[in-house]
Chain A
Amino acid sequence: MNKADNQVIITVSGTDKVGIVAGVSNKLLQHNVNIEDIKQTIMQDNFAMMMLCDISKLEVSFKEFKDSMMALGEELEMEIWVQKKDIFDKMHTV
């Protein structure tokens, strides 16, 4: 698998509260996923965080990893999206 295949963007959004970054990073640690970059913004009064992650050392399938992130989203009452990164590069640059 090449590098692009291993890069995912994790987007977390919802009402700001204590423990979002900790909760998400902890889950990523459990899955052996490396965080390469983090950016935060406020979008329509909502907290939004985007993480660029490397999943090359993931020990479960992509689906299992994503399902567990989705479950975490429900637990934290935040919306979580996990997407391979190359789609953004292709869609938004000529």
Chain B
Amino acid sequence: MTNFNQQQILETIEMVKIHHLDIRTTTLSLSLRDCCTTDTKKTAAKIYDKIIKYASNLVAFASEIENEYSIPIVNKRIALTPISLIGESCDNVDYIYLAQMIDKAGAEVGVDFIGGFSALVDKGFTKGDLRFFEQIPEALATTNKLCSSVNLGTSKAGINMDAVLKTADVIKQTAQMTANADSIGAAKFVCFCNAVTDNPFMAGAFCGVNEAECALNIGVSGPGVVSSAIAQLPKTADFGEVASCIKRMAYKITAAGEVIGRKLAKKLDIPFGIIDLSLAPTPLKGDSVAEIFKAMGLEQAGCHGTTMALAMLNDAVKKGGIMASSYVGGLSGAFIPVSEDAGMIEAATIGSLTIDKLEAMTSVCSVGLDMIAIPGDTPNSTIAGIIADEMAIGMINKKTTAVRIIPVIGKNVGESAEFGGLLGSAPIMKVNNYSSEIFVNRGGRVPAPLHSLNN
């Protein structure tokens, strides 16, 4: 007779029911390298057909597996090869048309988001890249599920400052074109330093050029599980015990993701790619990374000690999770989006969490400045300055950093933006009002950093 352990079963049910354990996303990574033609319409048709062919069962099969284990799979997504690479060979390429056809295919197969409307310009632009940048705002404003990302820097190549400036323009224009919905278009766009090629999370998921034909990448979640486990420790438990507690929980969360990911990949008859060990919050109460800081003993996210708390959390999540899966990748760590985390929203609203503290935290978190709403009249040069700072942190520290910032047109500090769903709501945060204008307009490329003489 097979044994089973009552406590383990009750603990699992409690993790799902009370602490919001879920699989945040199952993302189908799909290469489009065989879709290049010299005609935009033909390329679009090939992309559309390929998405339908590979992804038509994704949603139905994911729902079936979700039902078998009673662990929710919140989002089903698709990540494509960066479209700038695929569209470039078309004569007079129309990236907006490609965007709309991709969005249509996404709607047809019923996924929540479709990413890969992307360009990799960390070392420079091709002619196609330049056209692509011009067309991002309209592409985002005329689609629903499409997500866009650009890679602006790497530790190997430095930072493309011309691209940083253009990206600031893209963000502002996208915000203006979606001003009637609190500038939500900008929430579907992210810029990176050291972008990863197998990230399942949006808005930055794309299928890297080094990736296989297709694969299933899984993003797990469960900050509530970690915060409740820490909260149950005595207040005097030392950091070794806290780290150990986080590792145990990260192991369990990842193991759940691994089982479900492999089952789904098998059912879809595609290879299992990676599991991204991320603690991704949602606006639901209790599903919050900020709550973990509180459980550790900080009064609010953003108070002194938060960077250290996040550093330890991020490291322990990786250490625990890596034991539960052989193929770990993506962004792996703890996300700190403001609008998607009830505790972060509270901390930002009362003034405990500022953009400067968030910037410091991004030097140890899994990604970067994420889902931050700023005044709609913030100059483009200030947005470029914010991006440049964040890219620099990634470049020097050899980590992925990102900026997903929303200049909310018509709103100012003291007001709040409503994005709805997983994107949540965000208080408009104050930015530094002194000018970065002359600095960011210098343009050119920041030279690649030295990889020795570390201090």
Contacts and interface: CB of A to CB of B under 8 A. Distances in A.
Interface of A: 7, 9, 11, 36-37, 39, 41, 43, 48, 50, 52, 62-63, 66, 81-88, 90-92, 94
Query: How many B residues touch the partner, as a band?
Result: 20 to 34
Which of B2, B9, B10, B255 lies at the interface centre, i.e. has the most chain A CB atoms within 10 A of its CB?
B9
B171 interface: no
Interface in B105-120: none
B446 interface: no
Contact of B8 (A63, A81, A91): A91
Given A81-B13, A83-B69, A94-B251, A88 B8 contact: yes
Given A83-B68, A83-B70, A9 B256 contact: no
B4 interface: yes
Interface in B405-435: none
B4 A88 contact: yes
A87 B256 contact: yes
A81 B14 CA distance: 12
Given A87-B12, A87-B259, A91-B12, A50 B6 contact: yes
B4 A85 contact: yes
A73 B10 CA distance: 17
Contacts of A87: 12, 69, 71, 256, 259-260
Interface in B1-25: 1-6, 8-13
B70 A82 contact: yes
A39 B3 CA distance: 10
A83 B258 CA distance: 16
B9 A62 contact: no
Contact of B64 (A37, A63, A85): A63
Contact of A7 (B2, B12, B71, B324): B2
Given A37-B3, A50-B6, 17 more contacts: A9-B4, A9-B9, A11-B13, A36-B1, A37-B4, A39-B6, A41-B6, A63-B67, A66-B67, A81-B70, A83-B69, A86-B259, A87-B12, A87-B256, A90-B258, A92-B5, A92-B12
A92 B4 contact: no
Contacts of A63: 64, 67
A11 B9 contact: yes
Contacts of B256: 87, 90-91
A83 B175 CA distance: 44
B62 to A, nearest CB: 14
B252 interface: yes
Contact of A52 (B2, B12, B251): B2
Contacts of A43: 10
A92 B68 contact: no
B323 interface: yes
Contacts of B252: 91-92
A11 B69 CA distance: 12
- Give me the 3 closest cross-chain CB pairs, A-B, nearest first: A92-B8, A91-B255, A90-B255
Contacts of A62: 64, 67-68
A94 B252 CA distance: 9
A38 B211 CA distance: 47
A82 to B, nearest CB: 7
Contacts of B70: 81-83
Contacts of B69: 83-84, 87
Nearest to A49: B6
B12 A88 contact: yes
18 contacts: A9-B4, A37-B4, A50-B4, A62-B64, A62-B67, A62-B68, A63-B67, A66-B67, A81-B70, A83-B12, A83-B70, A85-B2, A87-B71, A88-B9, A90-B258, A90-B259, A91-B8, A92-B8
Nearest to A43: B10
Contacts of B324: 90
Contacts of B6: 39, 41, 48, 50
Nearest to A41: B6
A43 B14 CA distance: 12
B66 to A, nearest CB: 11
B209 to A, nearest CB: 33
A56 B255 CA distance: 25
Contact of B1 (A37, A41, A86, A90): A37
Contacts of B255: 90-91
Interface string B238-276: 000000000000011001101110000000000000000
B323 A94 contact: yes
Which of B4, B5, B71, B255 lies at the interface centre, i.e. has the most chain A CB atoms within 10 A of its CB?
B4
A63 B69 CA distance: 11
Contacts of A11: 9-10, 13
